[in-house]
Chains A and B, each alone.
Chain A
């Protein structure tokens, strides 16, 4: 023991002090201790000591916040996060699965949700920017690229592409002609091939879209997703019903307003799914008014249980076009439009040579026929002809076409072919 004491410097009696001096010595010592510990006095129940300054032994009693502090027991496992379910209410958020990311989600108790990273929007031409076949239709068939409409030949139904709003350049409009009293509906869906469908087997996905109704809309609007397990490519838009129930999604009637609004639905594909389609469907009642229609755009189907911001499947407009051309390519249409090079095989047969970006399968040739629709320029002259047909040996990347009904030329002549009528068109189709 040092004297004075080593930490506080309190002076104590020494061995040589006179006994008579001890009372005074202890008074000095006691007062020094009293002075040093003065700040420890006071306080109220629950208060804790807090430093009042950097000076030694300078304390003050303050109200404790221990009762509101986050306790160790709030976390249970590696990766847990401390979140909140409301003002002053901390809550544990368990870590998600490997590779998942944290996103805001106001529908959960903590306002947060782990979900798989957005893979992509799998819907082709999801805002109808690609329209190689035209922009207005009334009969069954593929309409805007990758979208197949079913009107069943009922009069007074038109599917058209109209000007969009906001972030969307186009909307699809399905309209019943004013005064029409038939209530037959229209389906308008997109089938997905096996290569596009299989990655979604067993996955929870969210499909979302933007829609609105016309002021006179008399009917109902629903969204179906049909799926199948066949190993044969199938257009499920035309084959899924009416034999089976709409699975895995049947929204029932969706309440639309006249304001373009986003709707989203989450469901899980069966584990064995190999193909599916998404199918908006419109039905009507009564007599059609002037605006007995619905409009929609911005379809998105993605892995996860929340719709993320809309994106094109193809990212860019060129990417979207290329994706659609896997299924359909318009080679040429209209008056004085170049088609391809060709050569005369025999005096009466012209062969036309096409190469093209790879398609899903060796495509069908879809070519209009009419008097003088085609012109073959060769050897200082020309042959006008009316139709062309696919020849053999077609592959997903190339095809030979021919005409052997109007050609009168010389074998070996080479030249080029153009379309020469406003209604003339040549396209390749590898659709489902």
Chain B
């Protein structure tokens, strides 16, 4: 197997698992959002990597160039990045509201307050 040639994809998997682990294991609501961000960022790299065409040039029309890299995945992921930013903003806004309501951003703490009611 071509391990070194799949360099990008190893990074993707590493980032994805790190992010996913943080989302699952962390009890802090802000840290969870950061984990989610890492998780999403790994997918951005997956998309960006797949746009590269072997020996392809920058996708700007020029004379004498016949092979271009595929620009479409980059455009797609631009949209996904915007979605990611919106999700992060909304998530953090919710965390602010949760802190106002519970006085804490720790999951255990919040859970305990709900249970005691």
Please say whether chains A and B are actual partners in one complex: no
